[in-house]
Structure 1
Amino acid sequence: MVDIEKIYKDSGALLEGHFLLSSGKHSPNYLQSAKVLEDPKRAEILAKELAKQIMDYGLKIDSVCSPAIGGLIAGYELARALGVRFIFTERKDGKMTLRRGFEVKKGEKILICEDIITTGGSAMEAAQEIEKRGGVVVGFAALANRGVCNRVGSHIKRKKECKLPEDKPFFALADFDFPIYEPDECPMCKEGSKPIKPGSRGN
């Protein structure tokens, strides 16, 4: 069994401070998956562990799709572990779009994969783009779950902020249930601290 929390800590990828998340919420903790995935062997190990969960569940998948840019390495390695093709969506003029000649067959079963899922907003944007083109989104996956959505095999209950559909499975290697605040309720802001925005949309 892979100890993903230890891997994040050993990689210097479990950060503490005052962070602005992609969802717009604030948190004293941040997971910098790029630091974990910079080691190809480590990325392969994590993807194989995630693939095992999915295969044990019995989910039929034709392809893996990730929203760029954060989910690209995790999604590619997961597709490789599952033996299926990999595609990705990316933002154009602020809208998640399938480009670069990628096509989706009608009825194609597609798993959406992120590095980390908090509310699942970006994953759902990718899912909507896939379904608009005739694909069928059969589930969601991530290396880490921020504790807002409930994943397969976890005791954590779904929170109202979760945007993933309740009728489709969500797979992740571990839950990181850190405090998350709305900006106007953030205790760190009230103390005069200003959040920084790491990750693919910051630094």
Structure 2
Amino acid sequence: MDIAQIYKDSGALLKGHFLLSSGKHSPFYLQSAKVLENPKVANALAYELALQIHNAGVAVDCVCSPALGGILAGYELARSLSVRFIFTERVEGVMTLRRGFEVKPKEKILICEDIITTGGSAMESAKIMKALGAEIVGFAALANRGICNRFNVLRNVETPDCRLDESLPLFALEDFVFETYEARNCPLCKQGSKAIKPGSRGN
């Protein structure tokens, strides 16, 4: 599958001046919600991701996603893997497991995002699952921003900004490596442009 083309065709590969969740600026942004609004496309992408996980021999009992962005991707992946799905969400800024969801001791859980950037939210979810006695078997995403090492693909790349546990595999359909800038050194800002936080102004 040509994942980059799917993002482009869905209007999900945005160009402009964006403020990322990491605090950095970038001229590109991936909006996976635009891809996932088409159920057939979402199902096809999840199937390909599930195939990667299956071929790697990783056993999964449950998929967990951090809300809000990871919910659709995680649910579709869980369906392709024929396992249950749960999600964590922030309550007053703290990632929490709510809504009656429970985790069994030693349950093998895969953390799924729509996009992995630094992996901060994914790790917050993973820590909750581990605290409840589960075993984290890996991370998955439709797209990887290239900051974290993807399973058997970017293992030789130094990734000081990655917050994932890199002893575990990261599965993704594509690596999108975009330029990012510290806010104080952003050339777009110096040109007079103002960074837009993704999700605002129709983005």
Is the shorter-chain TM-score for this pair beyond 0.5, marking a shared fold? Answer: yes
Residue aligning to 2:4: 5
2:149 is the counterpart of 1:150: yes
CA distance in 2, matches of 1:119, 1:29: 16
Partner of 2:44: 45
TM-score by length of 1: 0.96
User: Secondary structure of 1:129's partner?
Assistant: helix
Alignment partner, residue 190 of structure 1:
190
Distance in 2 of aligned mates of 1:133 and 1:199:
32
Q: Deviations over 1:27-79 (max 9, x none)?
A: 10000000000000000000000000000000011100000000000000000
For 1:152-176, what per-residue CA distance to the aligned partner results, in whole angstroms no more than 9, with x for missing partners?
2424724110001121000000000
- 3-state DSSP of counterpart to 2:133: coil
Q: Aligned-pair distance for 1:199? A: 3.3
Alpha-carbon distance between aligned partners in 2 of 1:76 and 1:13, rounded to the nearest angstrom: 20
Distance in 2, matches of 1:102 and 1:39, equals 27
TM-score of the superposed pair, with normalisation by structure 2: 0.96
Structure 2 unaligned blocks of 5 or more: none
- 1:10-49 alignment to 2 at 5 Å? 10-49=9-48
Query: Alignment partner of 1:144: what SS?
Result: strand
1:72-83 → structure 2 map (5 Å cutoff): 72-83=71-82
Give yes or no for the alignment of 1:167 onto 2:167. yes
The size of the alignment, in residue pairs, is 201
Corresponding position of 1:57: 56
Structure 1: tracts of 5 or more residues without a match: none
Q: Deviations over 1:115-147 (max 9, x none)?
A: 000000110111111111111111000000001
RMSD: 1.4
Matched residue SS, 2:89: strand
CA distance in 1, matches of 2:186, 2:58: 39
CA distance in 2, matches of 1:118, 1:23: 8
Identity, % of aligned positions: 68
- Where in structure 1 do 4 or more consecutive aligned residues deviate above 4 Å? none
- 1:71-93 residue CA offsets vs partner (Å, 9 max, x unmatched): 00000000000010000000001
